[in-house]
Structure 1
């Protein structure tokens, strides 16, 4: 299998790709990591077999402070439209949603912070990436915004009691997840220190080192195979989801 080349967009210095990068490269991928605005974003996605956008502390439409966000949304929209395997994580999922006709707003139920379980929806059981996940996989949350409306063509794959749009698919192979799978103990503790009001909404002891260490082992057990399936999807070794009869993808 030829190593698929993945473009990784990192919107925020505090949100590196972490162990997810190790899982992807161990599965055979080659990563091209770009952190705007210091790193130039490619004009096209030619030469890439997959696209990943990580999280960040800014809002998905905060173009005034971060004018390069529009280019990120354009790349995500192109990935979705052209059936390029695409994955948006937390802010990345919000950017993907906005870029394809969805809506993001301040979370009506307050921040969602700390380790939680999400629940797979019926469509996830036949999805190439989600089918093999457990019924209620472990995830790490750290967000104050929500995807308040999914794009019209989106397929909902997972929900949580607080915010229903936890994971979705657009077309055959563009995915958004409103949670983190790429964190480390140190990264989460850093977020908690720099956002104490958000951190205060988590369960007591949520950021203790021992607690986070166990959580991250559980995350690795669940999401390392998911990352390998994404690489297989990008390499053409895993068949994408069947086309949905909902027409063309609406792009904002």
Structure 2
């Protein structure tokens, strides 16, 4: 398997790639990490075999406060046009959804915060990245904006009762997950300290050290193999999802 070069966009200093970066490297990837708020982004995706966009505390359409969101969404759109393996995480998933024509708004049912489970949808069982995940994968939530409308060409892969659009695929190989798989206990404890208003949505004890340690052990067990499959997808060693058949209109 060749070594795929992945562009990692880190929108927020407080959300580094963490264990996910280790998993990607261990699976054979080379990472080019860019923080668009402090460093330049590439003009195109030439020379990259995959794209990962991480999370952040800003809203996905807050271009006035964060003008670099525009080129981030442009790169995500380019990845879609080029059928480049792509993974958007939390804010990254929201940016991917907007780039493809979806909608993101503040969640009407309040924030999702803490360790949780999502449920796979039928389409996930035949998806190259999601098929081997358990029926209800462990995830970590920390967001108040949600994807209220998926792009028209998206396939829903995982859902939850409060906010249904938890994981999706656009086209053959662009994925978005409305949760975190890259965090550490220390990172989310820092988030909790920085955004105390979000904590009212968390279960009692959700951010205690032992609870977070177990939650992140569960995340690693579930999502490290997923990260390895993403690297195989970027390297061309794993086939992307089949293209949707086009149906002619009935006359």
Are the equivalent residues in 2 in contact too, given 1:138–1:218 (CA < 8 A)?
Answer: yes
Question: Per-residue deviation at 1:37?
Answer: 2.2
The C-alpha deviation readout for 1:121-177, integer Å capped at 9, x for no partner, is 000000000000000000000000000000000000000111000000000000000
SS at match of 2:183: coil
SS at match of 1:52: strand
Question: Per-residue deviation at 1:39?
Answer: 1.1
Change in CA separation of 1:246 and 1:216 when aligned onto 2, cut-off 3 Å: farther
SS at match of 2:23: helix
Distance, in Å, in 2 between the alignment partners of 1:151 and 1:235 is: 26
Q: TM-score, normalised by structure 1?
A: 0.97
Matched length: 247
Are the equivalent residues in 2 in contact too, given 1:153–1:246 (CA < 8 A)?
Answer: no
SS at match of 2:58: coil
Distance, in Å, in 2 between the alignment partners of 1:53 and 1:61 is: 15
Distance, in Å, in 2 between the alignment partners of 1:189 and 1:151 is: 33
Q: In the TM superposition, what are the counterparts of 1:34-45 in structure 2 within 5 Å?
A: 34-45=34-45
Deviates most, 174-183 or 72-81: 72-81
Distance, in Å, in 1 between the alignment partners of 2:246 and 2:39 is: 37
Q: In the TM superposition, what are the counterparts of 1:1-252 in structure 2 within 5 Å?
A: 1-245=1-245
Distance, in Å, in 2 between the alignment partners of 1:193 and 1:167 is: 27
Are the equivalent residues in 2 in contact too, given 1:111–1:198 (CA < 8 A)?
Answer: yes
Deviates most, 99-108 or 238-247: 238-247
Distance, in Å, in 2 between the alignment partners of 1:95 and 1:144 is: 14
Question: Per-residue deviation at 1:38?
Answer: 1.2
Q: What RMSD, in angstroms, separates the aligned Cα atoms of the two structures?
A: 0.8
Q: Which runs of 5+ in 1 are unaligned?
A: 248-252
The C-alpha deviation readout for 1:15-39, integer Å capped at 9, x for no partner, is 0000000000000000000001211
The C-alpha deviation readout for 1:70-113, integer Å capped at 9, x for no partner, is 10000011111211000000000000000000000000110000
Question: Per-residue deviation at 1:246?
Answer: 5.6
SS at match of 2:230: helix
Distance, in Å, in 1 between the alignment partners of 2:74 and 2:110 is: 29
Distance, in Å, in 2 between the alignment partners of 1:81 and 1:183 is: 29
Deviating 4+ runs (over 2 angstroms): none
Are the equivalent residues in 2 in contact too, given 1:129–1:230 (CA < 8 A)?
Answer: yes
Aligned to 1:250: none
Are the equivalent residues in 2 in contact too, given 1:86–1:175 (CA < 8 A)?
Answer: yes
